[in-house]
Amino acid sequence: MTKFTVAICGGGVGGLACAVALSQYPDIRIDVYEAASKFLKSVVQALGWTGSSQRLPSSPLIIIQVGKANCFISTRGTTAPTYVIELSFNFRKGDQSEGYTFHQLYTPAILLRHLSASSRTYTSKRSSHSPIALRFKDGSTATCDVLIGADGVKSATRRRSSTSLRTPRSLRRAAQPRWSGIYAYRTTIPAEALRSRIPNHTVLREPMAYLGKDTQVTAYPLLHGKIINVAAFRTRYDSEGAPMKEPWVVDTTKDELAADFAGWEPEVQAMFQCTSKLSRWAIHTTERLPTFVSGRVALVGDSAHAAVPFQGAGAGQAIEDAYLLATLLGHPKTTLSTLTRALRIYDAVRRPYAQDVAKTSRECGMLFTLNYPGLSSQDIANGQAADKLRVIAETIRKKWSWAWDTTLDGDIQRAVRELEAS
């Protein structure tokens, strides 16, 4: 017997993680609606630079797998994850003619299992109307008892929830995405192309984080070292929050990239020269929302707390949202008549932590680009680089430490206790 229906808008990591977690409860019907014509193409194998997803308790919920023909997700036949200590990044000062590595960051990491599937999924479904009674742009309709907005930083669920109710103008403004003041150039390059230029380039074997004033480059090998993923960031913090009139994502050229990274060391320039297709992304975040819940509507992942990517925590945080929310919805005390109580508990327990992670992600971005308050780039220019860079590395490590020093178990236990006491 079905006690209620949950509709999930968004088929990314957060939405599929919600479906995975809820599929443990046979009395909940799950419908997943995705705006794109198909779900994620590749299996997510590892989430985050810092292993943030290791905060998940040992349970059947580990990670999602997307099948060849559609989204297939389930919780059966899985085992607990394996933990290892591994190199997260080599930190290197790169915005000069001759760069140098000044720190190696080792952190606990998680090796995630694959899952396969079981809930109803729909593609090409972009919501165009109010929550609960859903109407999609293709003209179809649906209804649900609970709506989970997992539709990203541009979330229509967040926007409609704020405009359809009698909410203050400040809340409606907060529902709009906000430019972080950061552009990210993103590309992948063939490892062989880079090897032909610099045969012993470190990034062919290990992940690299290059630091520079107002600029930063992250690069690491993928697919068993066959390709190198490159993200080059240009910050303009004086424009943070400014209206973004141009498209968020545009194709661009090596010349634009070279202009923003003029004077950087040869091994970074060699990566740039290997690019064939390059895009520039205007990184947007969400305001610090006063709530993740409105009636029977709940937000998860980037819909609720999109952050800049300098902790690599986005996917892990979305999965944590999903796991806690599913635990409350699946609890025997949660029925059709007590749904709003369960959602309020989710908001009270989860929101402060997720928003703190978003805050420290911004702070890490300022550290990576030598903009952190109290840090003088003039000191580095005057020959005090070693001491200052050690301070930066240690501060980054401390700001990442929440990922391996805390767990989600305590939050789940607190939420369940509050639910059972109601």
**CA distances for 299 relative to 15, 146, 161, 417, angstroms:** 10, 11, 10, 22
Considering the domain architecture, whether residues 270 and 304 belong to the same structural domain is answered as no
Domain count, the chain: 2
Which helix (H) or strand (E) covers residue 86, if one does?
strand 82-93
Assess whether 17 and 136 both reside in one domain.
Answer: yes
- Determine the structural domain holding residue 310 and report its residue range: 4-78+113-177+287-375+409-421
Structural domain ending residue among the three candidates 268, 285, 302: 285
Is the domain of 153 the same as that of 124? yes
Do 35 and 146 belong to one domain? Answer: yes
Q: Are residues 139 and 231 in the same domain?
A: no
**pLDDT beneath 50, residues of the chain:** 39-53, 58-82, 110-131, 165-166
The pLDDT tens digits of the residues spanning 103-150 come to: 877 766 543 333 334 344 444 444 443 346 777 777 777 888 999 999
**Buried/exposed 301-315: b ≥16 CB within 10 Å, e otherwise:** bbbbbbbbbbbbbbb
* Per-residue model confidence (pLDDT) at position 119: 47
Are 259 and 210 within one domain?
A: yes
Residue 375 is predicted with a pLDDT of 62
Q: Do the Cβ atoms of 133 and 310 come closer than 8 Å? A: no
Q: 281 and 291: one domain? A: no
Contacts of 122 (CB under 8 A, 6+ apart): 31, 32, 33, 34
Based on the fold, state whether residues 291 and 281 are members of the same structural domain: no
- What are 186's two structure tokens? 């993103």
Largest CA distance in the chain: 71
pTM: 0.81
Domain's final residue, options 285, 304, 321: 285
CATH of the domain at 302: 3.50.50.60
Which of 236, 255, 285 marks a domain boundary?
285
